[in-house]
Structure 1
Amino acid sequence: MQLSRRQMIFGAGALACVIPRVSWAAGGADGLIAALSGDVSYVVADLASGKILGARNAEKAMPPASTVKAITSLYALETLGGGYRFATRLIATGPVSGGVLQGDLVLAGGGDPTLTTDDLGDMAAQLAASGLRGVSGRFLVWGGALPYAPEIAGDQPIHVGYNPAISGLILNFNRVHFEWRRAGKGWQVGMDARGERFQPKAFTAEVALANRKSPLFTYANSGGKEHWTVAASGLNKHGSRWLPVRNPDAYAGDVFQTLARAQGLALPAPRSLRDMPGGTVLVEHRSEPLGVILRGMMKYSTNVTAEAVGMTTSTARGAPAGRGQSGASMGQWLAARMGGSGARFADHSGLGAESRISAQEMVRALAQLGPGMGLRDLMKGFDLRDDAGRKMQNQTLQIEAKTGTLNFASSLAGYMTGRNGRQLVFAIMTADMNQRRRTAGQETPTGSREWIRRSKILQSRLLERWSAL
């Protein structure tokens, strides 16, 4: 394959470079590209100089999938700083007298995407330890730190736990734990807000079994409760999975009420609050620093974390922060930082297939902004695959990257140390959008896993070749 020689500019005041002519032997990566349906785009560049060392369809706008989390990380780090911490507070609107709060108790979320049941359990224990034994007013829940959205992306199956609601209160990544067990001729089923040390029942969600083959799940939201049904024929003897929560404020309030009761503090039924009242902070839980949160997000690719971080960043910048709006705000930021960009983002996680960025623009962002913000240190090591798609043993190449996977879309972007010590930055994007559109709404459509396996093998073969540059 030969690459045409043409000028590529890395942005105003940045690096200018020329794509060289490169001839690769037939087979190998070339054969994988030919066998992979859809589009393949990539760029690899020298990190120090920005010189492009190889490219294919460099300017083609592609769905980045979860590699967009790298851009979200840069967006947040520049605005909030790596030491930023999210705060969840218990606020009293009146004085405490004789162990009784003369006013309302407010559970106020601060957009913390890592808040767990254990954290709420510890907050309840601290509140009880302060001597509080009753509340004369209401128990209120406020999630207005972030604009509410019932889901991240609209084209996902209803039951997948990685597509929950977004709110200023995010408990257990806005997921509820569903467990089932065969019991004689019937079933035992339950839903809880499982933590490592606390396991309260979830009263805002319920599940029932249905005698049907499909659909596997149905969902309804009514009467302040989330109602699930599941096809009994799709269950094995015992198992569990996390289901998405659509009423996050009610869920967090319900769980905290249960945890407080266990500490001897009976609270009224939680009520959602639109406007945050003033008052005195009785207990505050602070998250890990943003840098730690982003490292976990990169490792586990948690979508709701990316959305909460990105929306918090847009809010801090005074930019539109609603679902869809916040992704556009990030795109405008990137264009300003790069001296122009055609990238557009539907969200901060890459779960929405409408986002687009070219391999060239991804490499520009990683090369120009990443080093100064320590992005490489937040990425996890990438495991090369052999020709069968298995992880290679005794890998010698040092690669830190972010993967991205949707049905019939697979991307990889990051940094690599070549065999001669040369530092490289790269982006590889593959997608068959026709196949994706035809299988929209399916959790694992036929052919998608094999297509993604071939894409990941292609990524490995390209990285192996580039290691010698």
Structure 2
Amino acid sequence: MVKWISRRGFLAGVTCSLATGAMAEAPLTSMRPVARAAGENAVRQMIMRSGLAGKVGFAIADTATGEIVGAVLPNLAQPPASVTKAFTALYALETLGPTHRFETRLLGTGPVIDGILEGDLILAGGGDPNLVTDQLAELATGLKETGLHEVRGDFLVWDEALTNLAEIDAGQDDYVGYNPTVTGLNLNFNRVHFEWKKEGSDFATTMDARSENFRPAVTSARINIVDRASPVFTYRDVGDVDQWTVARRALNNGGSRWLPVRHPALYCAEVFATFARSHGIVLKRAKSIAELPNAHVLTTHQGVPMTQLMRGMLRFSTNITAEAAGLAATAARAGENRGLRTSALGMARWATDRVGGIAPEFVDHSGLGDLSRVTAGDMVRFLLAKDVATTLHPILRTIPLVDDNRQRIPDETALIRAKTGTLNFVTGLAGYLRSAKGREYAFAYFAADLDAREQGKLLGSENPPGSRSWNNAARSLQNRILRHWALRAG
């Protein structure tokens, strides 16, 4: 079991960064002198020999004493990327509670008489970031099972449970599915499935809202194939329709990919109406509303408990889940919805108050924006703060130790549970490590070449030249460092 110590005990045990040469910086101070660990010298040598462009910040602490036993540039603020989600998970769990569930409701504004709703039907989102098509099918079945078979009024959708975000990070390309719209009513991580197949000299295309059991076609997202070399995709907002084009030259004989949905509530409404119609309930074209009128509940779908939701977020690094959870937590604390930057600032202030002595900077809750900053030293302080490991350790993903050929090392005594983070020219990992000798650590590794990242962004490419090789090299260095602490120094 990972142990925690008090903040006072941790701060008393923190030692200096022990920086030398080209990596010198203002050191952390210790209340007692500590000889430089052999493990730390080994880490410095690994970083120097790697030749990795940019900078690396690393810190590792003994969880039993809180003592930093190895550090290189621990005060260097770097983009945490998706390591941010470790903060978000604790923020949501401690604010909303481990049993909190996002709820999607069907409401009626009038009485139901002989199976006829004498009023409007409202599909009201509660912010569930993991709602999928199969669950809308279940919601439609639940409506049928109430005995309802006709709606006399309008079909309305409400998505104001959370602050609506057109996208998480404006610096990303329009077509990347990991930069979705976020609203109070989401579906399939706010992505639509685009599939193409060569038929003669042309292509057949489909746009659908598929999940495990259903593939309903949608018209709220459309795509045209055009003759051009680049860009691969273009996007236009045409009223309530997402209009995409794709370059013919970019398509092979057949394939698919997910594209973002920028009108999630209407996308969700269209899919629900398809399932309702299959049960004989024909709905009018959906209309969005900003305020919920007085209405009664007809049926509901509850999302999974927050602990399960956060476990899935940390495992699969779903950005929409992080943003929905973070926005909901801030709204609960503030008593009202807040914008993304304000909410992220609130989470940073919470982290400072929660731990003390740390000062992270967040621009979102997912780590997609590259202006967020966390130091390796602050990350370790966070991981060692009271009750943090108790909550996070069980839901963090197990990271296997691998050799330089990426083959798993069969040493079951050593264990890493951590959160990864990756952007172009940015790599991070932070969490808990148990060495082969049974010693427990908290660690953080942040590497970034910010000059190369900025140059890559100017190219407008999802994978700018050199990014994959740099990220692979950064992860290899990360693995060598952790392998050293897990199998040798520990």
Fold-level similarity (TM above 0.5): yes
- The CA deviation at 1:394 is 2.2
How far apart in 1 are the matches of 2:130 and 2:116? 31
How far apart in 1 are the matches of 2:103 and 2:76? 41
Equivalent in the alignment of 1:221: 237
- The CA deviation at 1:81 is 1.4
Give 3-state SS (helix, strand or coil) of 1:461's partner.
helix
Give 3-state SS (helix, strand or coil) of 1:43's partner.
strand
- The CA deviation at 1:10 is 8.7
For residues 7-35 of structure 1, what are the alpha-carbon distances to aligned partners after superposition, in whole Å with 9 as ceiling and x for unaligned?
A: xx995675322244134698886244451
- The CA deviation at 1:113 is 0.9
Q: Which runs of 5+ in 2 are unaligned?
A: 17-33
How far apart in 1 are the matches of 2:391 and 2:148? 44
How far apart in 2 are the matches of 1:157 and 1:295? 28
How far apart in 2 are the matches of 1:25 and 1:270? 61
Of 336, 354, 358, which aligns to 2:375?
358
How far apart in 1 are the matches of 2:247 and 2:420? 33
Does 2:398 match 1:381? Answer: yes
Does 2:426 match 1:430? Answer: no
Of 190, 196, 216, which aligns to 2:206?
190
For residues 223-278 of structure 1, what are the alpha-carbon distances to aligned partners after superposition, in whole Å with 9 as ceiling and x for unaligned?
A: 21000000111111111111011111111111111111111100010000101222
For residues 200-233 of structure 1, what are the alpha-carbon distances to aligned partners after superposition, in whole Å with 9 as ceiling and x for unaligned?
A: 1111000010111110000000121000000111
Equivalent in the alignment of 2:89: 73
Q: 1:224 to 1:371 in 2, by over 3 A?
A: closer
Show the 5 A alignment for 1:299-448.
299-318=315-334, 321-369=338-386, 371=388, 373-388=390-405, 390-396=406-412, 397-440=414-457, 441-448=460-467
Give 3-state SS (helix, strand or coil) of 1:443's partner.
coil
Greater than 3 Å deviation, 4+ residue runs: 9-15, 23-29, 31-34, 369-373
Does 2:37 match 1:22? Answer: yes
How far apart in 2 are the matches of 1:363 and 1:172? 34
How far apart in 1 are the matches of 2:217 and 2:317? 27
**Superposition CA RMSD, Å:** 1.8
Equivalent in the alignment of 2:116: 100
Give 3-state SS (helix, strand or coil) of 1:424's partner.
strand
Q: 1:372 to 1:445 in 2, by over 3 A?
A: closer
Does 2:145 match 1:162? Answer: no
Please say if residues 107 and 121 of structure 2, whose CA atoms lie closer than 8 Å, have aligned partners that are also in contact.
yes
- The CA deviation at 1:126 is 1.1
- The CA deviation at 1:80 is 1.2
- The CA deviation at 1:372 is 5.4
How far apart in 2 are the matches of 1:75 and 1:151? 22
Of 451, 458, 465, which aligns to 2:477?
458
How far apart in 2 are the matches of 1:27 and 1:218? 49
For residues 73-125 of structure 1, what are the alpha-carbon distances to aligned partners after superposition, in whole Å with 9 as ceiling and x for unaligned?
A: 11011111111111000001110012111111110001111100000011001
Q: Report the residue type matching 1:240 in the other structure.
A: S
Q: Which runs of 5+ in 1 are unaligned?
A: 1-8
Give 3-state SS (helix, strand or coil) of 2:300's partner.
strand
Between the aligned residues of both structures, percent identity stands at 45
How far apart in 1 are the matches of 2:264 and 2:46? 48
Q: Report the residue type matching 1:204 in the other structure.
A: S
- The CA deviation at 1:279 is 1.2
Of 191, 200, 214, which aligns to 2:216?
200
How far apart in 2 are the matches of 1:33 and 1:282? 64
Please say if residues 376 and 446 of structure 2, whose CA atoms lie closer than 8 Å, have aligned partners that are also in contact.
yes
Of 231, 251, 254, which aligns to 2:267?
251
Equivalent in the alignment of 2:305: 289
How far apart in 2 are the matches of 1:26 and 1:431? 21
How far apart in 1 are the matches of 2:88 and 2:475? 23
Please say if residues 12 and 339 of structure 1, whose CA atoms lie closer than 8 Å, have aligned partners that are also in contact.
no
Q: 1:311 to 1:131 in 2, by over 3 A?
A: same
Equivalent in the alignment of 1:261: 277
- The CA deviation at 1:185 is 1.1
Q: 1:105 to 1:437 in 2, by over 3 A?
A: same
How far apart in 2 are the matches of 1:64 and 1:154? 18
> Which shows bigger deviation, 217-226 or 313-322?
313-322
Q: Report the residue type matching 1:349 in the other structure.
A: S
How far apart in 2 are the matches of 1:44 and 1:340? 17
Please say if residues 344 and 365 of structure 2, whose CA atoms lie closer than 8 Å, have aligned partners that are also in contact.
yes
Q: 1:428 to 1:10 in 2, by over 3 A?
A: farther
Equivalent in the alignment of 1:3: none
Q: 1:24 to 1:287 in 2, by over 3 A?
A: closer
Of 131, 143, 153, which aligns to 1:115?
131
- The CA deviation at 1:152 is 0.7
Please say if residues 312 and 321 of structure 1, whose CA atoms lie closer than 8 Å, have aligned partners that are also in contact.
no
For residues 289-314 of structure 1, what are the alpha-carbon distances to aligned partners after superposition, in whole Å with 9 as ceiling and x for unaligned?
A: 11111111111100000000111111
Scaled by the length of structure 2, the TM-score of the pair is 0.90
Please say if residues 212 and 233 of structure 1, whose CA atoms lie closer than 8 Å, have aligned partners that are also in contact.
yes
Please say if residues 85 and 290 of structure 1, whose CA atoms lie closer than 8 Å, have aligned partners that are also in contact.
yes
Please say if residues 10 and 16 of structure 1, whose CA atoms lie closer than 8 Å, have aligned partners that are also in contact.
no
- The CA deviation at 1:128 is 1.2
Scaled by the length of structure 1, the TM-score of the pair is 0.94
> Which shows bigger deviation, 362-371 or 245-254?
362-371
